[in-house]
Amino acid sequence: MHTSESGDGALHGYSIISRAIQSVWRIPEGNHHHFHCGHPEKLKLFERTGSKEFPDADLKLLTQRCHENFSNYAMLTPYPSQQDDRIDFCVTYNIPIAGVIPTLEEADAILKASNLQEQLRVMKLMETPPKKIEPTLTALLNKRSLQDRSTMNEIQTLAIDVLVKCKTTDIKAMEYMISVLPHYGNDTEADMEALSEMGKPAEKPLMARLDKTSHQDGKFQFQLITLLGQLGEDLAEKSIQRILSITRNSDVRYAAETAIQSIKGYEYCRCFRAP
């Protein structure tokens, strides 16, 4: 999208831009003239269904140039479903809304404070924040609350999801994810998926924890070995073979054989099977 700040472009730009924004949020005629942001030579309409008839870069530029206008108009609708659509749109394009979607600085301050309900609200709005908020999200994983443990767990589950989207390589974040694997609940499922998606950076922390397990940690060993098998890196083979050589747990043994099969191939794994 090309823009112009002078001449005919400045005179006619607002009508083209405002029609686009009117299509996004269906702003009534007579109100959309406030959205004067420059002139795009070509800009097709954005459908609320999610289909885009123009490059995403054009929409990003539109939201960057008009973010204050999007923010001001976001809540000016009597329809809750339309309001939800607008909030989702602003979350996707990093547009703060006063009292609804905080700025990055406000979000950072909320997540460092102690109001769990506010933290939960912010986490539910968050998609992929800039890297500079990553340490705050990692610190959330170490928080505890006896008064509202379920809310704290929900916040941490959401934090894990966001950290994965950030492509975190923070060792402390990974160690936390590994530490909750033996527990039941939504956080365990989220952790398994997150560690798998992290790929190679998660391999060494997983191996280090597997090497510290004993025969009493059968379920934990099963989870760790399953993840290492999914990553499929040769480096993990030694740790998995150690467990395979000493375990009496049939499920752990099966997981270890499957993991080695993923790493080395089926024929290589056959030699570990009991006669």
184 vs 35, more confident? 184
How far is 174 from 182, CA to CA, in rounded Å? Answer: 14
How far is 62 from 168, CA to CA, in rounded Å? Answer: 30
Q: Any idea which residue has 């997981």 for tokens? A: 255
Q: Angle at the Cα of 240 (from 234 to 241), degrees rounded to 5? A: 95
Q: What pLDDT sits at residue 12? A: 41
Read off the pLDDT of residues 71-127 as tens digits, 9 standing for 90 and up: 887 888 888 888 888 888 888 778 888 888 898 889 999 999 999 999 999 898 886
Q: What is the DSSP letter of 273?
A: S
Query: Side-chain half-sphere of 215: how many Cα atoms within 13 Å?
Result: 7
Q: What pLDDT sits at residue 6? A: 37
Q: What pLDDT sits at residue 113? A: 93
Task: Report how far Cα 16 is from the mean position of its chain's Cα atoms.
Answer: 34
Look at the pTM and tell me if it is higher than 0.75.
no
